[in-house]
Structure formats: structure tokens, C-alpha cells
């Protein structure tokens, strides 16, 4: 009988223990799921907060970098972009369909003579039309005079295409140099603080190193942006110059054939 009571008592204790363990496991699982869901919500909300605060973060880093050097670097970016945009607009307006212009000039020469061809050039924008006009204006003086006029005025037009481009290259070189100068000054400030405190503490050098890194980063970013615009402008100038050279040779061939 005692053995029966003992078995029943042990069975009851085990059953109670299983129920308690099940309840604890269920509670733990629920708590874990809720915690994970909260962490996922915070993780999902974090990019939105970062996206919303991008301008504030940029402004903060700009101020931390020091208004002196950071302002000069920003000025380099503004001036460089202004010149680059002006050059891009000018070069796009200077682009001409040289094949169509050459055909129109040849047709005008055959139908109305030199004056008609000059009128076509006057009504067309771009350096190629200007070169054609200068060459046609010297047709009475001979082919040699036409060739000299085309070459000379081609150099003038090329100078106009390359106007102010050297300033962009200056800002490309100047921006990272100013950033490196800010780096050196920031490191000097950090060592000055260490010397004044007489102790090497991370909090003493953190500010100076931060200034050094921020000025360098912003200087390199400005240089990269301006370098992209500079390479595009140079490629555009080369394309227009090649069209000028090809069109000039074609014009000379047309005038030589017309004289025969």
C-alpha cells in the first residue's frame, strides 16, 4: 500500500514538473519571439531614421571638420561645379552636325556661289560653321590663303572651347591639398593637447584626429566629383576638335574640286 502511495506521489510530482517546464518553455518562447520582433522593428526603423537625418548628419560632420578649411573646400566645389556646368552648356551648344553642314555648304556653293555658302554658315551656330565662314571669306585669295585662315581660326575656336577648363583642374588639385592641410593641423592640435596634459589619453587625441579625417574625406570627395566633370568636358572638347579638323579637310577638298 505504501508502495502504491509512493508511486502515485512520484507520478504526481513528475506530472507537475512537466506542466511547470512546459509553462516555462512556453513563456520563454513567447518572450523570445516578442524580443526578436521588437529588435526587427527597431532594425527596420533604423534606416528610415538614418535616411531622414542624412542632411543633419552631413551638416554635423561639416561643422566638426572645422568651418575654416571645410568652407574653403566647399567653395572649391561650388566654383568648380559652376565652371563645369557653364562649359558643358557651351560645348553642347557648340556641337554641330558637321555632315549636314558640309552638305548644305556644298549645295549652296553649287547653286548660289560663295555668298550663298557664307549665308549658310552665318545661320549655323558652332565653331565648325565659323571656320567654314572664315575659309570661304578667303576664297578669292587662293587655296593657300583659305588653308591658313582655316588653321588660324581653328586655333582661336579651340581656345574658346578650352576656356576656363584649367580652373577646374586647379580646384581638383586644391581640394585634397586643403584636406591634407586640415589633416596636418588636426594632428598638430592632437599632439599639443597630449603635450599640455602630459598623458596619452584617447579622449585628448580623438577630436584632433576626427578633424583630420573629416577634412581629408571631404577634400577627396570634392576632387572626385570635379574629376568626373573634367573628364567629360575634355572628352567633349576632343570630339568637337576632331569634327573641326575633319570638316576643314572636307571644305578644302570641296573648294579644290570647284576650282578645277
pLDDT by residue (tens digit) across 156-211? 888 899 999 999 999 999 988 888 887 777 777 777 777 777 666 666 666 667 66
Q: Residue 115 burial (CB < 10 Å; 0-12/13-18/19+)? A: exposed
Taking a C-beta distance cutoff of 8 angstroms, is the pair 232, 87 a contact? Answer: no
Residues of the domain holding 18: 2-52
Pairwise CA distance, residues 171 & 194, whole Å: 35
DSSP count for the chain of H helices, then E strands: 9, 0
Do 76 and 28 share a domain, yes or no?
no
- Reduce the DSSP state of residue 198 to 3 states and report it: coil
Do 92 and 24 share a domain, yes or no?
no
State the maximum Cα–Cα separation within the chain, in Å, rounded to a whole number: 140
What pLDDT sits at residue 203? 64
Do 127 and 205 share a domain, yes or no?
yes
Do 73 and 172 share a domain, yes or no?
yes
What pLDDT sits at residue 58? 62
Q: Hey, how many other C-beta atoms are within 10 angstroms of the C-beta on 124?
A: 18
Do 48 and 61 share a domain, yes or no?
no
Do 132 and 177 share a domain, yes or no?
yes
Do 112 and 149 share a domain, yes or no?
yes
What pLDDT sits at residue 218? 87
Q: In degrees rounded to 5, what are phi and psi of residue 126?
A: 115, 160
173's grid cell: 588639385
- Alpha-carbon dihedral sign for residues 28, 29, 34, 39: positive
Pairwise CA distance, residues 241 & 156, whole Å: 12
**pLDDT lower than 70: segments of the chain:** 1-55, 57-67, 198-208, 210-211, 260
Do 118 and 219 share a domain, yes or no?
yes
Residue with cell 581640394: 175
Do 237 and 174 share a domain, yes or no?
yes
What pLDDT sits at residue 53? 66
What pLDDT sits at residue 89? 94
The DSSP output letter for 163 is T
35's grid cell: 524580443
Rounded (10°) angle between helices 67-94 and 54-64: 120
Do 15 and 116 share a domain, yes or no?
no
- Alpha-carbon dihedral sign for residues 200, 206, 207, 212: positive
What pLDDT sits at residue 66? 64
Do 15 and 117 share a domain, yes or no?
no
- Tally the domains of the chain: 2
130's grid cell: 565659323
Q: Which long-range contacts (CB under 8 A, 24 or more apart) does 113-118 make?
A: 114/139
Taking a C-beta distance cutoff of 8 angstroms, is the pair 208, 66 a contact? Answer: no
What pLDDT sits at residue 88? 94
What pLDDT sits at residue 184? 78
What pLDDT sits at residue 61? 64
Do 74 and 134 share a domain, yes or no?
yes
Amino acid at each position: 500500500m505504501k508502495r502504491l502511495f509512493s508511486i502515485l506521489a512520484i507520478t504526481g510530482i513528475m506530472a507537475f514538473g512537466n506542466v511547470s517546464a512546459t509553462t516555462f518553455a512556453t513563456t520563454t518562447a513567447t518572450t523570445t519571439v516578442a524580443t526578436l520582433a521588437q529588435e526587427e522593428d527597431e532594425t527596420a526603423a533604423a534606416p528610415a531614421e538614418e535616411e531622414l537625418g542624412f542632411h543633419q548628419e552631413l551638416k554635423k560632420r561639416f561643422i566638426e571638420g572645422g568651418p575654416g578649411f571645410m568652407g574653403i573646400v566647399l567653395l572649391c566645389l561650388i566654383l568648380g561645379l559652376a565652371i563645369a556646368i557653364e562649359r558643358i552648356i557651351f560645348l553642347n551648344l557648340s556641337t554641330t552636325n558637321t555632315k549636314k553642314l558640309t552638305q548644305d555648304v556644298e549645295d549652296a556653293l553649287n547653286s548660289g556661289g560663295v555668298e550663298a555658302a557664307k549665308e549658310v554658315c552665318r545661320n549655323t551656330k558652332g565653331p565648325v560653321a565659323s571656320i567654314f565662314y572664315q575659309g570661304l571669306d578667303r576664297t578669292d585669295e587662293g587655296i593657300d590663303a583659305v588653308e591658313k585662315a582655316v588653321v588660324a581660326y581653328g586655333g582661336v575656336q579651340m581656345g574658346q572651347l578650352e576656356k576656363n577648363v584649367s580652373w577646374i583642374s586647379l580646384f581638383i588639385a586644391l581640394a585634397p591639398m586643403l584636406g591634407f592641410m586640415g589633416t596636418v593641423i588636426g594632428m598638430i592640435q592632437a599632439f599639443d593637447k597630449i603635450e599640455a596634459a602630459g598623458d596619452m589619453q584617447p579622449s585628448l587625441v580623438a577630436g584632433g584626429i576626427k578633424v583630420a579625417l573629416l577634412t581629408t574625406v571631404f577634400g577627396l570627395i570634392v576632387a572626385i566629383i570635379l574629376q568626373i566633370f573634367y573628364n567629360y568636358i575634355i572628352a567633349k572638347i576632343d570630339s568637337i576638335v576632331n569634327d573641326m579638323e575633319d570638316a576643314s579637310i572636307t571644305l578644302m577638298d570641296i573648294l579644290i574640286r570647284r576650282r578645277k
